[in-house]
A and B are shown apart, each in its own frame.
Chain A
C-alpha cells in the first residue's frame, strides 16, 4: 500500500493533467525551499533535524519481557543521515535464539496461542492495528531515523499499511478452512489446515515494519508462534511494535524478537532443530545459505523473497509522460532500495530519445535531503556498505561505456546520500544491467520489438516483478503471460495491496507473501480418513 498510495497520488496528478513533478516542485517551493536541495547543489549539509521520538526499547523481546543478550553484548544502530549512533541495541546470538525458540515452543506446544479461538486471535491482531495507528507518528519517526526513508513516506504510506495488513490478516484468522474430500470408496475424508508450529522469520532493513507485517501477520493468523530476527541496520521499530503487541494482549512467547546479525543469530535460527518453518527476505546469496542450513538441519520448509532485476517495459504506444514518471518512481522509490525496483527500463526505439530526455529531467528534479524535512523525495542510503556498493556500480556503469545522463556522485559530504543517477545506452551484458544495485541508479535500454524485449526481459536469474506500459490490450495480455515474474504491473507499478500475492519466479525466491496464498506458508495439511458404515452418499 505504501507504494500503492504513492502511485495513486501519481495517477491522480496525471488524470488532473498536471505532471507530478511540477506539482511536487511547486509544493517544495512553498514550504521546502529553505532546506531542500536538488542533488546537483553542492552546498554544505545543513543542520540535522532531531527526530521527535525517544528510543525506548533496545533489548530483545523474549517470552514477553525485554531482556539483555545472554552475552551482554550490544551493537550500535546508526543514523544514515550522519553515520552517528542512534542507540546501542542488544546483540542476539545463538544462545538468545535458543531462549526465544524455547519460549515460542512453549507458547505453541502448551498454549495458549494455537488453543485460543480464531476469533480471540483476530481480536488481538485488530487491537494491535489500532495501537499502530495510535502511535503512527512515533513509529514513522523511528522508522525514518533508523532507515533513512522519508518521514512522509513512513507516516502517510507505510505505517497505515502496517495497520491495514494486520486487519487483513486478523480477518483471515477465522477463515482458515480445510476441505472435505471425495473418496473412491466408503471413507469419510477431511483435511485439517493446521499451524506449522514455531516460525523463524528474518526480515530486511528496507521496509522494516512492512516486512514485519508480511511475515508476522499470516503466521499469527494461522496460529503459529514466532521468533523474528530484525536486520542489524534497523532494529528499533520492531521492538516498539513488539511492545504494542503485548499491550494488545498477545500472550508471552508468541512473538519473540531478536536483534542481531545474520551470520550468528540468523544462521542459528535457520539451522535450529526446533524451528518448524523459516521465512526470509533478503539477498539471493543469503537465501541460498538459508535454504542450505534448512536442508542440513531439520528440513524446515522455507519461504524466500529475494533479489530482483525487474524489467520496466515502455512500448511505443505508451503514455510517455506517465511512463517516465512511473519508471522514475519504480526505480527511485525508497532510495532505490526495493527488491522489486524497476531496474531495467526497456524503452521502444521510437520513443527512446524522448523518454531518456524526460527521465533525465525528472531525475534532476528529484528532491534529495534530510528525510525529516517536508517535501523531500529521497533520503540517504541505509549504511556505508550499501553506499559504497552503489557507488561501485555507478563507476562500473561509466567504465562499461553506458551514457551517464545525470547524477553519479554523492550528495553533500556527510551521511549516505547519493545523487539520482540515470544511465542510457545500457547494454544487457553490462554489470549495471545484470546485478541488483539496490540504489538510485536507473538503467535505460533500447528495444525494437516485442519478441526481442520478452526474451531480454526474461534473460536473468531473477523473476520478481515487471512493469508493462502500453495501450494495446493484445500487447498487455501477451507480455503478461510471457514474462517470468511473480508480479506484472500493467500501466502502474508497486501496487502493494494486502490481497495481492508477491513473490518470485526463478532465483527471486520460493513461495508467495500477502493474499490468500501467504497462508500456505504457515499451514500444514493433514488428511484425516475414517471408514463409513452405511453412508447415505459418497
Chain B
C-alpha cells in the first residue's frame, strides 16, 4: 500500500493533467528545504531535529525490555550525518536462546495458540461435570488473538507520527513517506491479518473408502523472522501479521541499521494485550544473532528478507540444523518494459518511481528499464529531466522525495556501481556522484545505452541508479527480461491487451504490474521466482508459511454417504 498510495497519487496527478508528478507544487516549504541534486555546491543546511525521543533500546524478551546477556551495545547511526542516534543492546547467540525459550514456553504452554481466534465478551462459560453435577465455570478469555491485533493497529495509528519519525531518523526515508504511507500501511496490514485469525479453515476430504478424513491447519510453533532495513516496519508487519494470526510465537531479529522502530511497536504490541513471550525482538547482527536463529534446533520455521547471498546461507543453516521450513524474499533485478504503444509520460514517471522510490532501496525496484527503440530517445530525454528534478535533501523536510542511503556501506557500494557504469561505456545522463558533503546522499543517476552484459544491468545496485536499455520486439525483450537469476517483479507498459496478456504469462517473476508499479495491497501476494526467493508473503498465500497441515483419518461405520 505504501507504494500503492504513492502510485495512485501519481495516477491521479497524471490523469488530471499532464504535469509530471512532483510534490513541489503542493508544498510551499519545499523551496526553502529541498534542493535539486544538481545544486551541488550548496552546503547542507542544519540537520532537522526529529520530533521523537528514543525510549526503547533494549532487547524485548518474554515481555520485558532487557540488556543483552553480554551487556554489549552497538550504535545505530543517522544516515543524514553518520552520527550516533542511540546505543542499542547487541543480541547474540545467548540472547536468541533466551528469546527462543520464552517463545517456546509461550507456544507450548502459553495462552497464545490456545486462545480463541475471536470472542465477543471478555468472559464466557463452559459447562463441566463437577462432583457428578453439571455446572458452569466462568472462563476469562485472556484477550483473543484477533482483537489484540486490532487493538495493536489502533495503537499504531495513535502513535503514527512518533513511529514515522523514528523510522525516518533510523533509515533516512522521507518523513512524509513514513507518516502518510508506511505507518498507515502497517496498521492496514495488521487489520488484514487480524481478520484472518478466525478464518483459518481446514478441509474435510473425500476418501476412497469408509474413512472420515479431515485436515487441520495448525500453527507451526516458534517462528524465527529476520527482517531488513529498507522498510523496517512494513517488513515487520509482513512477517508478524501472518505468524500471529495463525497462532505462532516469534523471535524476530531486526536489521542492525534500523533497530529502533520495531522496539517501539513491540512495546505497543504488549500494550494491546499480547501475552509475554509471544513476540520477542532481538536487535543484532546477521553472523551472530541471525545465524543463531537460522540454525536453532528449537525454532520450527524461519522467514528471511534480504539479499540472495545471505538467503542461501540461511537455507543452508536450516538444512544443517533441524530442517525448519524457510521462506525467503530476496534480491531482484526487475525489468520495467515500455512498449512502443505506451503512454510515454506516464511510463517515464512510473519508471522513475519504480527505481528511485525509497532511495532505490527496494528489492523489487524496476532496475532494468527496457524501452522500445521507437520511443527510446524521447523516453531517455524525459527520464533524465525527471531525475534532475528529483528533490533530494533532509528527509524531515517537507517536499523531499529522496533522503540519504541507509549507511556508508550501501553508499560506497552504489558509487562503485556508478563507476562501473561509466567504465563499461554506458552513457551517464544525469547524476553520478554523491549529493552534498555530509551523510550518505547520492544524486539521482540515469544511465542510457546500457547493455545486458554490463554489471549495472545484472547486479542488484539497491540505490538511485536507473539503467535504460533499448529493445526492438517482444520476443527479444521477453528473452532478455528473463535472462537473470532473479525473478521478483516486472513492470509492463502498453495499451495493447494482447501484449499485456502475453507478457504477464511469459515473464518469470512473482509480480507483474501492468501500467502501474509497486502496488502493495495487503491482499496481493509478493515473492520471487528463481533466486529471488521461496514462498509468498501477503494475501491468503502467506498463511501457508505459518501453518502445518495435519491429515486426520478415522474409520467410519455405516456411513450415510461417502
Contact = CB atoms under 8 A, between A and B. Distances in A.
B26 to A, nearest CB: 20
Contact of B553 (A179, A181, A290, A487): A487
B519 A187 contact: yes
Interface string A509-538: 110100111001000111111110000000
Interface stretch (A242-250, A256-264, A328-336, A498-506): A498-506
A429 interface: no
Contact of A184 (B188, B311, B505, B511): B188
Contacts of B320: 288, 292
Given A524-B529, A531-B515, A295 B216 contact: no
A526 B511 contact: yes
Interface string B286-329: 00000000000000100000001001111110111011010010
A510 to B, nearest CB: 5
Given A4-B208, A501-B549, A531-B515, A490 B323 contact: no
Q: Output the residue of A184, A290, A502, A506 with the most chain B CB within 10 A.
A: A184
B22 interface: no
B134 to A, nearest CB: 16
Interface string A187-202: 1010110100100000
A181 B523 contact: yes
A499 B207 contact: yes
Nearest to B346: A531
B524 A181 contact: yes
B4 A185 contact: yes
Contact of B323 (A191, A288, A520): A288
Contact of A189 (B5, B524, B550): B524
A361 interface: no
B306 to A, nearest CB: 13
B521 interface: yes
Interface in A44-71: none
Interface stretch (B152-160, B235-243, B532-540): B532-540
Interface string B199-238: 0000101111111010110100000000000000000000
Given A291-B318, A298-B531, A299-B315, A491 B554 contact: yes
Given A194-B505, A499-B206, A492 B553 contact: yes
A299 B215 CA distance: 29
B88 interface: no
Contacts of A529: 511-514, 516, 519, 524
Interface stretch (A28-36, A224-232, A440-448, A478-486): A478-486
Contacts of B308: 299
Given A179-B540, A480-B216, A525-B541, A500 B505 contact: no
Given A189-B521, A295-B312, A1 B208 contact: yes
Q: Output the residue of B208, B213, B325, B511 with the most chain A CB within 10 A.
A: B208
A525 B510 contact: yes
Given A191-B525, A486-B550, A186 B208 contact: no
B406 interface: no
Interface in A125-152: none
A181 B514 contact: no
Interface residues of B, number: 74
A267 interface: no
A8 B508 CA distance: 46
A288 B324 CA distance: 10
Interface in A451-508: 461, 476, 480-481, 485-492, 495, 497-503, 505-507
SS of A interface (majority): mixed
Given A187-B519, A517-B549, A527-B511, A295 B213 contact: no
A376 B84 CA distance: 78
B197 interface: no
Given A192-B505, A291-B319, A520-B544, A182 B552 contact: no
Interface in A387-406: none
Interface string A342-359: 000000000000000000
A432 interface: no
Contacts of B550: 480, 485-488, 505
Given A187-B4, A291-B319, A296-B312, A530 B554 contact: no
SS of B interface (majority): mixed
Contact of B551 (A4, A287, A289, A502): A502
Contacts of A1: 208
A11 B551 contact: no
B252 interface: no
B323 A184 contact: no
A294 B210 contact: no
Interface residues of A, number: 72
Given A486-B551, A501-B549, A299 B534 contact: yes
B500 interface: yes
Contact of A525 (B523, B527, B554): B527
B8 A185 contact: yes
Contact of B312 (A4, A299, A505): A299
Contacts of A409: none
Given A295-B312, A295-B319, A529-B513, A487 B551 contact: yes
Contacts of B325: 510
A184 B522 contact: yes
Q: Output the residue of B323, B508, B516, B544 with the most chain A CB within 10 A.
A: B323
A183 B523 CA distance: 7
A503 B549 contact: yes
A272 interface: no
Given A501-B549, A525-B536, A11 B210 contact: yes
A96 interface: no
Contacts of A194: 505
Nearest to B15: A533
Contacts of B313: 295
B548 interface: yes
Nearest to A196: B529
Nearest to B504: A528
B16 interface: no
Contacts of B5: 185
Contacts of A520: 544
B521 A187 contact: yes
Interface in A274-290: 276, 284, 287-290
B323 A507 contact: yes
Q: Output the residue of A183, A304, A306, A531 with the most chain B CB within 10 A.
A: A531
A488 B4 CA distance: 44
Contact of B525 (A292, A517, A527): A527
B211 A492 contact: yes
A164 interface: yes
B500 A182 contact: no
B61 to A, nearest CB: 24
Q: Output the residue of B536, B551, B554 with the most chain A CB within 10 A.
A: B551
A531 B530 CA distance: 27
B322 A526 contact: no
B485 interface: yes
B311 A299 contact: yes
Given A191-B541, A505-B548, A506-B300, 8 more contacts: A291-B318, A295-B315, A296-B316, A485-B550, A491-B555, A501-B215, A515-B205, A531-B515
Closest 4 A-B residue pairs measured CB to CB?
A291-B319, A295-B315, A295-B316, A490-B554
14 contacts: A11-B210, A181-B539, A184-B1, A186-B8, A192-B504, A291-B316, A299-B531, A485-B550, A486-B548, A489-B553, A492-B555, A515-B215, A517-B549, A525-B510
Interface of A: 1, 4, 8, 11, 164, 179, 181-187, 189, 191-192, 194, 197, 276, 284, 287-292, 294-296, 298-299, 301, 304, 306, 461, 476, 480-481, 485-492, 495, 497-503, 505-507, 509-510, 512, 515-517, 520, 524-531
Interface of B: 1, 4-5, 8, 11, 188, 203, 205-211, 213, 215-216, 218, 300, 308, 311-316, 318-320, 322-323, 325, 328, 330, 485, 500, 504-505, 508-516, 519, 521-527, 529-531, 533-536, 539-541, 544, 548-555
